[in-house]
């Protein structure tokens, strides 16, 4: 007798190692079996801030990507961008949850996402701008994902087992984010005269915003020295190699390398765009303080 088919939900959840599923869907728990105890000797304040930095990066970039659902060139790309945004949202939830856990001050992931003002966010400014066109979105996603993949790959060896587990899971997803963006950069750069022109302009514009990614904040420096985090300056050679390879394949000219800037976003100094993002992101929570759904 043939086996009776399961429910539709059973089919949806049968996805072992299926790359189509997003991090944020919640079908698997990357922290299952991982001790949540804060390692001895950890600077709790610095570790909390470090988790906020990485979580805020993912949260704000996720929100910007979601804005392109219904605006992408093809329906397959709308689905891809939605899944990439969900991946980053899932990472943000775990990282903000870890920040709250380490801080141990009565806050949770929701209060950190919805209860802070712009000056309290610690994300890099690269995650904040709205994109004028799809070429700019792909250039920015390429820069963000290439940098974050190099970071997560190293963070998977963190002395904090929770951060290590989050990073190890994230490596698989951000590899796809980077490759998705790279394929589009090549497709547009090596396409028509118009697409080449727009892709060149986008890569040149985004390149000027990448210097901050490699600036070393004192918290990042302390976390790297203690074995909990990553020194962002060490990520630049890998980033430059990938960036150059994609530019060559896309027949695009390499923009000038930006100087390593000051990590202003890490200190809570942001572009005006962040306030607009938070107005939308936090609107429901602000209108119903303490609301539970």
The position carrying tokens 């918290």 is 219
Q: Residue 58: what pLDDT? A: 98
| Domain-embedded: residue 54 | yes
pLDDT in the model for residue 258: 76
CB 55 within 8 A of CB 92: yes
- Is 37 contained in some domain? no
- In-domain check, residue 266: yes
pLDDT at 9 over 80: no
Whether 292 is covered by a domain: the verdict is: no
Report the CATH number at residue 198. Answer: 1.20.1260.10
In whole angstroms, give the CA distance from residue 293 to residue 283.
14
Residue 160 has a pLDDT of: 97
Q: In terms of Cα–Cα distance, which of 174, 175, 173, 155 is closest to 165? A: 155
Q: Which of 69-78, 151-160, 256-265 has the weakest average pLDDT? A: 256-265
Assigned domain for 264 exists = yes
Q: Is residue 36 part of a domain?
A: no
DSSP state of 20: T
Q: What is the mean pLDDT of residues 226-255?
A: 96
Torsion of CA 72, 73, 78, 80, to 10 degrees: -110
What pLDDT does residue 27 have? 58
Domain total of the chain: 1
**Residue 29 lies inside a defined structural domain of this protein:** no
Instruction: For residues 176 and 179, give the distance between their C-alpha atoms in angstroms, rounded to a whole number.
Output: 5
Best CA proximity match to 49, nearest among 162, 218, 213: 218
Give the pLDDT confidence of 276-286 residue by residue, as tens digits. Answer: 999 999 998 88
**What is the pTM (predicted TM-score) of this model?**
0.89
Q: What is the DSSP letter of 164?
A: H
Residue with tokens 């005269």: 193
* The pLDDT of residue 99 is above 70: yes
Q: Establish if 13 belongs to a structural domain.
A: no
Assess contact for 53 and 91: CB atoms under 8 A.
no
pLDDT band, very low/low/confident/very high, at 45 (cuts 50, 70, 90)? very high
Cα 277 to Cα 275: distance, rounded to the nearest angstrom: 5
CA atoms within 13 A on the CB side of 118: 15
Q: Which domain holds residue 162?
A: 42-287
Give the model confidence (pLDDT) of 136-172 as tens digits: 999 999 999 999 999 999 999 999 999 999 999 999 9
């Amino acid at each position: 007798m043939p086996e009776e088919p399961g429910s539709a939900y059973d089919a949806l959840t049968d996805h072992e190692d299926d790359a189509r599923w997003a991090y944020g869907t919640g079908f698997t728990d990357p922290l299952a079996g991982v001790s949540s105890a804060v390692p001895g000797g950890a600077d709790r304040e610095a570790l909390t801030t470090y988790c906020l930095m990485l979580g805020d990066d993912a949260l704000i970039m996720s929100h910007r990507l979601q804005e392109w659902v219904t605006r992408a060139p093809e329906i397959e790309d709308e689905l891809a961008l939605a899944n990439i945004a969900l991946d980053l949202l899932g990472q943000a939830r775990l990282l903000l949850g870890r920040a709250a856990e380490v801080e141990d001050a009565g806050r949770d992931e929701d209060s950190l996402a919805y209860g802070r003002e712009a000056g309290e966010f610690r994300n890099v400014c690269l995650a904040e701008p709205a994109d004028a066109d799809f070429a700019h979105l792909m250039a920015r996603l390429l820069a963000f994902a290439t940098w974050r993949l190099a970071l997560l790959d190293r963070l998977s060896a963190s002395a904090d087992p929770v951060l290590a587990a989050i990073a190890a899971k994230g490596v698989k997803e951000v590899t796809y984010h980077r490759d998705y963006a790279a394929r589009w950069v090549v497709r547009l750069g090596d396409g028509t005269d118009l697409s080449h022109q727009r892709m060149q302009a986008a890569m040149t514009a985004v390149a000027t915003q990448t210097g901050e990614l490699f600036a070393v904040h004192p918290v990042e420096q302390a976390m790297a020295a203690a074995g909990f985090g990553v020194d962002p300056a060490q990520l630049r050679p890998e980033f430059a190699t990938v960036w150059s390879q994609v530019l060559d394949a896309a027949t695009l000219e390499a923009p000038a390398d930006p100087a390593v800037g000051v990590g202003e976003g890490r200190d809570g100094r942001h572009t005006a765009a962040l306030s607009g993002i938070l107005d939308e992101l936090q609107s429901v929570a602000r209108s119903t303080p303490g609301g539970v759904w």
